[in-house]
Amino acid sequence: MNVTFIGGGNMASAIIAGLTEKKYIISVIDPRPEIRFSLVKNTKGKNLKCFKSIKEFEKTKKVPNLTVLAIKPQHLQSLKQEIGYNSCLWLKKTTLISIVAGAKLAMLRKIFQNEKIIRAMPNTPAKVRLAVTGIYAPRNIPKKVIIAISKLFDSIGQVLFLNAEGQIDSITAISGSGPAYVFRFIEALVNTSGKLGFSKKLSHALVMQTVLGALKLLTVTGDNPKTLRQSVTSKGGTTEAAIKILEENELEQTIAKALFAAKIKSKDLGKELNTQIKQNSKK
């Protein structure tokens, strides 16, 4: 299966890292030479070819089975202009998978003159094939195409199909941004371990194994987090003292505020993109 990526940044490279050992022929379009060099180096060029522009890719006269739109929201307008300068018939024939935060289907259909567009939100653990990808596929997408898309994202982790496009904003807030929340929590534990007298190296080892062990325990036992937390929290003990501080500082409420802020930002990005595209179309 031929898969083309428009954009070769962090998320695209994470997905590609999980795909290169599978039976995919991958093309990447990205104007940045350092990105193209990095992709070829990391994959050893296995089943992968890079192009510096849409125009250069068009010369291949290929129509990919799937095309992954993996650019930042602010670059969508410049891509629209580049498409306008070239015929880009392949973009009208391919099935397009957008992982652009905030970019709604209605807007994407106008830009690409293509009705075969789905939205997906993977996350960076794709690099180690432990991603979770939320996918919204409208009703006009054939079942065989949905199966192909599912297989593609299965290669990098777990796939969850969503019932409505609006859920993309929520999954962006939870799993799309989620790894950063986990990393920030680990960062805080490591930094505080240093204040408790441990070296940076030892602090990192202690925290990493604690987090890995806790997640493994949660996964293997199948127990819910609350049950496992309570099993560690002895009345009048050290864990209870720590948990009390977290609760007094409204840990859950803070997390909720953070997630809702991310969801609102995803929606706002969509509105900003739509306004930007409309304004530039009038010029």
CATH code at position 211: 1.10.3730.10
Least confident of 31-45, 139-153, 211-225, 235-249: 31-45
Highest mean pLDDT among 23-27, 31-35, 85-89, 268-272 belongs to: 31-35
Domain boundary among 104, 128, 163: 163
CATH number at residue 32: 3.40.50.720
Strand partners, 160: 134
Structure tokens belonging to residue 50: 């890079």
Residue 243's domain comprises 178-249
For residue 118, the surrounding DSSP H or E stretch is strand 117-121
Amino acid 10: pLDDT: 87
Q: What is the arithmetic mean of pLDDT over 51-80? A: 92
Which 3 state secondary structure label does DSSP give 180? helix
Same domain, 135 and 57: yes
23 and 118 part of one domain: yes
Percent of the chain beyond pLDDT 90? 75
Question: Are 87 and 121 part of one and the same domain?
Answer: yes
Label residues 181-207 b or e (16+ Cβ within 10 Å = b).
Answer: eeeeeeeebbeebeeeebeeeebbeeb
Q: For 69-96, what is each residue's pLDDT tens digit?
A: 999 888 888 888 888 777 788 999 999 9
Interatomic CA distance for residues 167 and 51, integer angstroms: 33
Residues 66 and 42 reside in one and the same domain: yes
Could you give the percent of the chain with pLDDT greater than 70? 99
What 3-state DSSP class applies to 25?
strand
Please report whether residue 255 resides in a domain.
no
Greater pLDDT, 23 or 147: 147
Encode pLDDT of 215-271 as tens digits. 999 999 999 999 999 999 999 999 999 999 999 999 999 999 999 999 999 999 888
Q: Which residue has the tokens 């007094």?
A: 248
Half-sphere exposure of 60 (CA within 13 A, CB side): 17
